[in-house]
A and B are shown apart, each in its own frame.
Chain A
Amino acid sequence: MNSSELFETPLTVLVERYPYIADFFDSFNIDVRSSDASAAQLFAALDADALDDIGLDRAQLRQALRDYVDGMGALQHDFAKVECLTIKGGFNKERQPEDFSLDLLPGQIICIVGPTGSGKSRLLADIEWMAQGDTPTGRHILINAAVPDAKWRFSIEHKLVAQLSQNMNFVMDLSVEEFIRMHAESRFVPDVDDKIERIMAQANELAGEGFTATTPITSLSGGQSRALMIADTAILSKSPIVLIDEIENAGIDRKKALELLVREEKIVLMATHDPILALMGQRRLVIRNGGVAKIITTSAAERANLAQLEELDRKLMNLRQRIREGETLEEL
C-alpha cells in the first residue's frame, strides 16, 4: 500500500478495503467507523491532550500506522514450505562431538527420549532458533538444505515450532467456535467457516466425549482440550513442526491424533516415554548429558511388538471402563 492510499483515503473506505486497519485505531481508542476523514486529517485534528493520552506525537503516530500496515502485509505472505529440516550435531555438555546429521521430513514422527534435564528443551530451542553454531550446543539447523534467513529468527510468522504439552490449558473466555475463528483471523486465513467445521469434526473424532461449537473452551475436559488443541494446531497453525510433550492416555485417541498431524504434513517431534507412542515414531533420539547420544530406528521387531502393546493397552482401557461403570475386577 503506498503512502497516498494509506494516509489520504477516507478511513471508512480504507477500513472497508483493509478491515484490519480498524484494529490499529481501536488500539489507540480512536473511532474511525463514523468519520469521513483520512488518516492524515485525523492525525492533524488530534489536539495536544489527545496526543498526550496516547503518548505519541503526530510523526510517531504516522510511523506507527505505516509500520502496522507493513507488518500486517508481511503476515499475509506465505513463507517457503519446509520440505526438509536438517539437524547437524554439535557437542554435549562435556564438549564431546555429537557427530550426526539428521533429515526430518513432513509427515515423520521422531521421538525424543531421555531423563529430565538431559537437554531435550535445548534441542527444541536450537530448532526454533535455527541455530547456526551460535548456541551452547554448537548445532546447526538447515531448512531445505540451506541456511535459513537470519531475519526469520525474530519474526513471529516464521515460527518453526508449535508446542503442545500436558500442562497447557485454555484460558480465554470464548466458545469453541469463537476461539477457532479468532485464531484463524489472527492469521488471515481464508474460508474461516470451512476451517471451523473441519477442526470441530477432527477434534470430535479424537475426543472420547463429543462437544459442540458453543461449548466454552475453559469447560472442556482434559481429553477434549487436548483433542481441540491438536486439531487446531494441525489445521490452523502455520508452524511446520509440532512438538508434543507426552499425550496422556485419557479421553483422546492418541493414534488418530498423530495420524491427523502426519496427514497435515507436520514434522512431529514427541518427547515421550510411553512405549506405544515411542514405537509409533520412525526414529528415537536418545538425549544424554546435553547431547544426542544415539539415534534408534524403530525396527521391524519393535513394530511387531507394537500390536501386542496396543492389545495390552486396550485390555487396560477396558478395565478402566469397568471401574467407571461400577463393576468389580475380581475376574480380569
Chain B
Amino acid sequence: MRFVTVSGPPSAGKTAVILRTIDALSERGLRVGVVKFDCLLTDDDTLYASRGVPVRKGLSGALCPDHYFISNIEACVDWGRQEQLDLLISESAGLCNRCSPHIKDICAVCVIDNLSGIGTPKKIGPMLKGADIVVITKGDIVSQAEREVFAARVRQVNPKAVIMHVNGITGQGAFELSTLVAQASDIASLKGKSLRFSMPSALCSYCLGETRIGEEHQVGNVRKIDLNDKGRNNE
C-alpha cells in the first residue's frame, strides 16, 4: 500500500484537494482511503464516506494534535492494509506552524492557500519547509501576480518541493497531483520509520493540567517572552 501525509493550516482546502484527487485516482481504478485527524470535531469523515471513500477519524481532544497523530499513525497504516487500499492518505491540520507530521521516505504534501497572506510561507515551519509537494489553493480568486508572488515565496522557503496549483472547487490541477501521489512509496508498515522533524516539545506544568497563572505554578520546560527593546524583532 502506498501512503501519503497531507497537512496544512486550518481551512487551506485540504479536504477539497484530497476529494478531487481521489476522484482522479478512482478513475484509474485505485482504491483510496483516508484517515482524518482533527482536534475537537470534524464532519469531514461523513463527507468522505458519502463519496464511498473508506475513512477513519481521530480526534486528539485535550492532547497535542501532532503527538496524537504520530502515536496512532502506525495503527492507521495497518488498518489501511486490512482494508486492502492501494493508497492511504492521512489528513491533519498543522495548528501551531511548528508541527509537522511528515515521515522520512513517505510522500509529504502541504496544502496552503493564496489568501493566507504572503508572509505565511515564511511563518510555517517544517510542515511546509520539509514537504515534497506543496499544493497552493484558492488561485481562482486572487490575481495572477499575487499567485506568482505567493508561489515564489513558497519556493523561497522550500526550493526542492514540487509546487502545484490545485483548485478545490473545479478540480483543476487535481489530476496532475494524482499522478504524483500515485507514485508514493509502497510500504508494508511504518515500523522502524521516523519523523522528518522533531515535534515541538513542552512538558511543563500546563501540560499536566495546571490552570493557574503565575510563576510559582510553572514547572518544567518553560520559556519566557523577551519584552526588552531587542525583543521587538523576535517574533
Contact = CB atoms under 8 A, between A and B. Distances in A.
B40 interface: no
B141 A237 contact: no
A191 B126 CA distance: 35
A233 B122 contact: no
B173 interface: yes
A121 B234 CA distance: 45
B145 A232 contact: yes
Contacts of A24: 156
Interface range for B: 35 or more
Contacts, number: 118
Interface stretch (A3-11, A180-188, A293-301, A319-327): A180-188
A233 to B, nearest CB: 5
Contacts of B126: 55-56
B144 A56 contact: no
A149 to B, nearest CB: 15
A218 B180 CA distance: 36
A217 to B, nearest CB: 8
Contact of B145 (A134, A135, A237): A237
Interface stretch (B12-20, B72-80, B84-92, B158-166): B158-166
Contacts of A172: 117-118, 146
Interface residues of A, number: 51
A64 B115 contact: no
A143 B28 CA distance: 28
B83 interface: no
A167 interface: yes
Main secondary structure of the interface of A (DSSP, over half): helix
B31 interface: no
B233 A52 contact: no
B202 to A, nearest CB: 12
A154 B144 contact: no
Interface string A133-157: 0111000000000000000011010
B102 to A, nearest CB: 11
B173 A182 contact: no
Contacts of B105: none
A124 B172 CA distance: 9
A314 to B, nearest CB: 29
Interface in B216-231: none
A150 to B, nearest CB: 11
B53 interface: no
Interface in A184-236: 186-187, 225, 229, 232-233, 236
B43 interface: no
Contacts of A165: 140
A237 to B, nearest CB: 6
A96 interface: no
Given A27-B122, A31-B233, A169 B156 contact: no
Interface in B156-208: 156-157, 159-160, 162-164, 170, 172-173, 175-176, 179, 197-198, 201
A163 B140 CA distance: 8
B156 A23 contact: yes
A2 interface: no
B152 interface: yes
B142 interface: yes
B71 interface: no
Contacts of A29: 234-235
A170 B143 contact: yes
A31 B126 CA distance: 20
Nearest 8 A/B pairs, CB to CB: A71-B159, A186-B152, A55-B126, A67-B159, A183-B145, A27-B122, A154-B162, A55-B197
Interface of B: 27, 98, 100, 114-115, 117-118, 121-122, 125-126, 129-130, 139-149, 151-153, 155-157, 159-160, 162-164, 170, 172-173, 175-176, 179, 197-198, 201, 233-235
28 contacts: A26-B122, A31-B233, A55-B98, A55-B125, A55-B126, A56-B129, A64-B159, A72-B156, A125-B173, A135-B175, A154-B162, A154-B163, A154-B164, A156-B151, A162-B144, A163-B139, A167-B140, A168-B141, A182-B149, A183-B149, A186-B148, A187-B148, A225-B143, A229-B143, A229-B144, A229-B145, A232-B144, A233-B145
